[in-house]
Amino acid sequence: MMNKINIPDNPECKTCSLTFAYKEIELLYEIAVTLASTTEIEETIEQGMRLLKRHGYLDRCALFILNDDKTVLELFASIDLTAQQRMMAVYKLGEGATGMAAKSAEPVVIENIHNNINYLNKMGSISTNSVSYIAVPLIRDDGVVGVISANIGGGGPLDFDDIVRMLTIVGSLFAGTLATQQRFAKEKAELTELKTYYKDELLGDHKFENIIGKSTKMQHIFSMLETVAPSDATILVRGETGTGKELIATAVHNLSRRKNGPYIKLNCAAISETLLESELFGHEKGAFTDAKEMRKGRFELADGGTLFLDEIGDITPALQVKLLRILQEQEFERVGGTKTVKTNVRLVAATNRNLEDMVKKGEFREDLFYRLNVIPINLPPLRERYEDVKLLVEHYLRKFMKEHRKQMHFSKAALEMLLDYPWPGNIRELQNMMERIVLICPDGEITPQGL
């Protein structure tokens, strides 16, 4: 229950302004408590407007918000207005007293609404001659965001300056609450979208059954995955760029006992040498210039789950030593730290490089190579999977037709061209080509000329 501030009548208050100031303090307190009490922003602001009405001579309070284009004021919350009046309450920037307040960023005061051309009477006037109207702009850091307005009926010798000041303060409270709610809603929507994206990523396109292939080589890989994925053995996935190494790594995680644990991915070639150590092992606060706080690395984040390191052949000899230690002992120290951190991670690594050659040249540690190569999975290039090309073409054609709402099919000659093409970029090249074809070609039959 809200505690109310009781301000006793002061016999020494000789002016209306001082009396109004006492009421203003009590009003602002009650509005602040109201705004903090609920997350239903429109209802909360309307409760605040009722408090305004109860404490003074203000009627038909309304809060207008500028649209995204900053050209139109749209009604967000109000009291004492019918549904039809609410529908009519839309003002262009500079239109009427309300629009003028937004455009000029200054309060607009109309002492008598019945003899002033700037009062457009969109919401229907009150049937009395002694009615005033005040519109006060709501200003945030980026400028005017809206307007708060109210009618002032007869019945008390109020000072317009007092009311403008009060509406300015109350409007700022309303605008701040609205901005906080909008920011919260935006962040919530972004988190929901991100959650949906990762759910789709992990449970949709990268399920084991969605790795497409009926060729003998792919059937052999599927059989091997079913055997080794449930274990905790380190897996080294090898193959040319675009052959689907990440899909295999994700399938390993989803088929393992760790499928409910974290699945962390990192492309070692995509990060500079100076940052890669921190990305892998984390760092302590003050470890280097920009280390403002302690940060966990990928090995720590993947504790209890699976870590996929792509382009493992690109890591430096110094990092190879630390990686070898983790594989042997499941422990490490963060950059700039001395405390040993334990981790329980299943590692899946991938590369398109010839690690045996790198070992011979002294570019890759031999002991690390053998630690990584416990279970080797060699992905064939697409040119060695002729019978899978048609399946992949049909799969990606359906996928992109659905995404782009188109209907098309390949002619026999066009399909033969795709089957005969060597696909040097492998599945990634095929996927990109299918999307380009769907986007560029008209609905209907795709001919060789369309390719």
Q: Model confidence over 70-99: pLDDT tens digits?
A: 899 999 888 888 888 888 888 999 898 899
Better-scored residue on pLDDT, 203 or 296: 296
Alpha carbons 63 and 138: distance in angstroms, whole number: 9
Q: How confident is the model at residue 28 (pLDDT cuts 50, 70, 90)?
A: confident
Question: What architecture (CATH level 2) is domain 383-450?
Answer: Orthogonal Bundle (1.10)
Estimate the crossing angle of helix 245-254 against helix 216-228, to 10 degrees: 40
Alpha carbons 126 and 320: distance in angstroms, whole number: 81
- 157-174 pLDDT, tens digit per residue, is 567 888 888 888 888 888
Alpha carbons 443 and 338: distance in angstroms, whole number: 63
Mean pLDDT of 117-146: 76
Q: Are 295 and 253 in contact (CB under 8 A)?
A: no
- What proportion of the chain, given as a percentage, has pLDDT over 70? 86
DSSP type of residue 57: S
Q: How confident is the model at residue 57 (pLDDT cuts 50, 70, 90)?
A: low
Q: Which pLDDT belongs to residue 126?
A: 57
- The answer, yes or no, to whether residue 197 has pLDDT greater than 80, is no
184-188, 297-301, 321-325: least confidently modelled range? 184-188
Q: Which pLDDT belongs to residue 10?
A: 44
Alpha carbons 398 and 396: distance in angstroms, whole number: 5
Kindly state the helix (H) or strand (E) to which residue 325 belongs, with its residue range: helix 317-329
Mean pLDDT of 124-131: 62
Q: How confident is the model at residue 13 (pLDDT cuts 50, 70, 90)?
A: very low
Q: Which pLDDT belongs to residue 250?
A: 92
Q: Are 281 and 259 in contact (CB under 8 A)?
A: no
- Which residue type does 22 have? Y
- 220-266 pLDDT, tens digit per residue, is 999 999 999 999 999 999 999 999 999 999 999 999 999 999 999 99
Q: Which pLDDT belongs to residue 357?
A: 96
Q: How confident is the model at residue 199 (pLDDT cuts 50, 70, 90)?
A: low
Q: Which pLDDT belongs to residue 247?
A: 92
29-43, 295-309, 408-422: least confidently modelled range? 29-43
Task: Note the pTM of the prediction, 2 decimals.
Answer: 0.55
Q: Which pLDDT belongs to residue 26?
A: 75
Q: Which pLDDT belongs to residue 335?
A: 87
Q: Which pLDDT belongs to residue 8?
A: 40
Q: Which pLDDT belongs to residue 366?
A: 96
Question: What architecture (CATH level 2) is domain 16-185?
Answer: 2-Layer Sandwich (3.30)
Chain mean pLDDT for the chain: 84
20-24, 301-305, 424-428: least confidently modelled range? 20-24
Task: Tell me which long-range contacts 217-222 makes (C-beta under 8 A, separation of at least 24).
Answer: 217/380, 217/384, 217/385, 218/380, 218/385, 218/388, 221/248, 221/377, 221/379
Mean pLDDT of 358-383: 96
CATH homologous superfamily, domain 206-380: P-loop containing nucleotide triphosphate hydrolases (3.40.50.300)
Q: Which pLDDT belongs to residue 164?
A: 86
Mean pLDDT of 128-152: 84
Segments making up each domain of the chain, as ranges: 16-185, 206-380, 383-450
Q: How many CB atoms lie within 10 A of CB 309?
A: 23
Mean pLDDT of 364-372: 96
- What proportion of the chain, given as a percentage, has pLDDT over 90? 44
Mean pLDDT of 276-280: 91
Mean pLDDT of 97-117: 85
- The answer, yes or no, to whether residue 55 has pLDDT greater than 90, is no
